[in-house]
Each structure stands twice: as C-alpha cells, then as structure tokens.
Amino acid sequence: MCKFNLKVPAFSPDDPDIWFALLETQFDNFGITEDSIKFNNVVSNIDIIHAKAVKDIIVNPPEHNRYLKIKSELIKRLTASHEKKVCQLLTHEELGDRKPSQFLRHLQDLAGPNVPEEFLKSIWSNRLPRSIQTVLACQTSESLEQLAELADRVQEIAAPPNVAATSASCNAPGPSSSTSSEIAELKRMVECLTIKLDEHTRQSRCTERSGPRRRRSSSRSASRSASRYRMYPICWYHETFGSRAHKCLKPCDYKESGNATSNPH
C-alpha cells in the first residue's frame, strides 16, 4: 500500500471549513482521489474531543462517500456548537477602557462571519454608556461602521476632565477644523436632548401644581362669602359707605331704597 507524507495542518474546530480546504489541497498535490484514504486522513488527524462529534460516522461509516459524509457532518455539528459558545461569550463581554470602535472589532473577531450583524449590533450598543446609546438611537440609517465612528466621537466629548487634562499636556497637534466642528455638533445634539428633557420635566411639574392651587383659591373664597353673609347680610362696603360704595361683596341684601343711610344736606 502506498504511503503519503501529507502536511496536514492542526485541526481547527473554530473554522473547520478552512481546515478541509487546506487538507484537500494536500490531496490534490499527491493525486489522492480514493474515498477511503481521504476518510482515514480525516479520522487520523482530529483529536478525540472533536472526533466525538462524529462518533456515529467513525464507528459505522457509510459504504460510499465516506469522506464527503464526515466532512459535511463535522462542519455542520462543530459550527452549530461554536455559534452557541460565541453567543454565550459575547453576552459577557464589556467595553472596559476600549473605544467603542475597538470594542466592536473585538466582538466581530469573537463572533466570526456566521453571527448576524443585527445580533452583533444589539450586543455592542447595549454595552455602551447610556449617553452614547441616546445619540446612536437617533441614527437609524447609518451603517455599523459609521455608528462606531460616531460613538468614538461622543465618548471623546464625554471623557472625564482628568483625561482631557492629560491629553492637553501632550505635545500632540490640535484637532482639525472639520473634527472640531463635528465635535461641536455632537455636543449640541446632546445639549438639545438634555434641554428638551428638562423642559418636559418642568412642564409636568407645573401642570401638577397649578390644578390644586386654583381649586384651593376658589374653595377659600366661596366659604368666606357664605359665612360672612350669614353673620352680616349687608356687606362691609355698603354698611360703611351706603349708596356711595363702589364695591360690593356678594351676596348682599343692601337695597338703596330701604337700607341706604341718608346723607345730610
């Protein structure tokens, strides 16, 4: 039986597709076409842990197309397991001291090409500070890369004072005029959102306060008029000034013909 000195790379469970592509290059270089030889090379070059993923095929291989069978099943089963582990890993990642764009690239490296972008975007944005999330929520038409650049700028604006002081002490060139204008615009957006929130809060408080104040005022006036009328049927103005009174507290029983005090001539 002919032996082949194949240079098979170490098996990669994180990306079995590329491993099989490299293995098949070796098959082509040595002119290997026999199905059983290909199958045996796969079995002899994967470790016991990952061989368990296709134990049923190794123990009871099909009569025909053994190589294609173990290749397709190994890729399918390991890929599904890898995606599950990646999702669990991504949900525990935090921003830390990285820029938002650096954090996004880190998540993309962990996720690989098979994790949907929307799922990755949701995890990334939910790990950012609330101030950055507020700005990004208004940008519905931007791509993920554009959102990452915007998040970096917002983070620079919201940087703690000691960080800004440290940066100022360095002999680095100042920001360009275009960068300065972008930072100013971002700052304006954040300030506008803050002002609108404050105005809404003040209006709500004023509405709550104004209602009870008007009711207390009208209630106090009505109770006073009723009690005064029972004690003094004629109001103080008509009692004091008679027909010369310019004001009257209602109800009042003053009648000019009977209650008015006659003026001396």
- 105 and 57 inside one domain: no
- 120 and 140 inside one domain: yes
Q: What is the pLDDT of residues 87-115, one digit of tens each?
A: 766 777 788 888 999 988 888 877 777 67
**Range in 4-8, 27-31, 226-230, 255-259 with the lowest mean pLDDT:** 255-259
pLDDT of res. 199: 65
Give counts: helices (H), strands (E), the chain: 12, 0
The mean pLDDT of 135-151, rounded to a whole number, is 84
Q: In the listed set 90, 109, 143, which residue is the last one of a domain according to the structure?
A: 90
- Amino acid, res. 97: D
Please report which confidence band the pLDDT of residue 20 belongs to, taking 50, 70 and 90 as the band edges. very high
Q: Which among 198, 179, 186 is positioned nearest to 132, based on CA atoms? A: 186
- Amino acid, res. 5: N
Q: Is residue 174 part of a domain?
A: no
Q: Is residue 45 part of a domain?
A: yes
The mean pLDDT of 41-50, rounded to a whole number, is 91
- 105 and 54 inside one domain: no
Q: Is residue 108 part of a domain?
A: yes
Give the global pTM: 0.37
Q: In the listed set 114, 135, 157, which residue is the last one of a domain according to the structure?
A: 157
Please report which confidence band the pLDDT of residue 215 belongs to, taking 50, 70 and 90 as the band edges. very low
Helix axes 100-111, 66-90, angle to 10 degrees: 150
- 82 and 64 inside one domain: yes
Asked if residue 220 has pLDDT above 80, the reply is no
- 22 and 81 inside one domain: yes
Residue 145 zone, left/alpha/beta (φ > 0; ψ -120 to 50; rest): alpha
**Which of 233 and 197 is assigned the larger pLDDT?**
233
What's the domain count of the chain?
A: 3
- 69 and 128 inside one domain: no
C-alpha distance from residue 160 to each of 155, 164, 191, 240 (Å): 10, 7, 17, 72
Please report which confidence band the pLDDT of residue 43 belongs to, taking 50, 70 and 90 as the band edges. very high
**Which of 194 and 213 is assigned the larger pLDDT?**
194
Q: Is residue 27 part of a domain?
A: yes
- 113 and 77 inside one domain: no
Asked if residue 42 has pLDDT above 60, the reply is yes
**Range in 50-54, 106-110, 153-157 with the lowest mean pLDDT:** 106-110
The alpha-carbon radius of gyration of the chain (Å, integer) is 42
Residues 125, 133: Cα–Cα separation, whole Å: 6
Please report which confidence band the pLDDT of residue 262 belongs to, taking 50, 70 and 90 as the band edges. very low
pLDDT of res. 4: 67
Residues 111, 85: Cα–Cα separation, whole Å: 9
Q: Is residue 205 part of a domain?
A: no
pLDDT of res. 163: 43
Please report which confidence band the pLDDT of residue 57 belongs to, taking 50, 70 and 90 as the band edges. very high
The mean pLDDT of 236-264, rounded to a whole number, is 70
C-alpha distance from residue 188 to each of 47, 134, 135, 158 (Å): 58, 13, 11, 13
Asked if residue 221 has pLDDT above 60, the reply is no
Residues 95, 171: Cα–Cα separation, whole Å: 28
Sign of CA dihedral 102, 103, 106, 111: negative
Q: Is residue 3 part of a domain?
A: no
Please report which confidence band the pLDDT of residue 201 belongs to, taking 50, 70 and 90 as the band edges. low
Asked if residue 162 has pLDDT above 60, the reply is no
The mean pLDDT of 244-260, rounded to a whole number, is 72
Mean pLDDT, the chain, rounded, equals 75
- 20 and 82 inside one domain: yes
Q: Is residue 209 part of a domain?
A: no
pLDDT of res. 25: 92
Q: In the listed set 108, 138, 157, which residue is the last one of a domain according to the structure?
A: 157
For residue 41, give its domain range: 16-90
Q: Is residue 212 part of a domain?
A: no
Asked if residue 143 has pLDDT above 80, the reply is yes
**Which of 47 and 120 is assigned the larger pLDDT?**
47
- 81 and 123 inside one domain: no
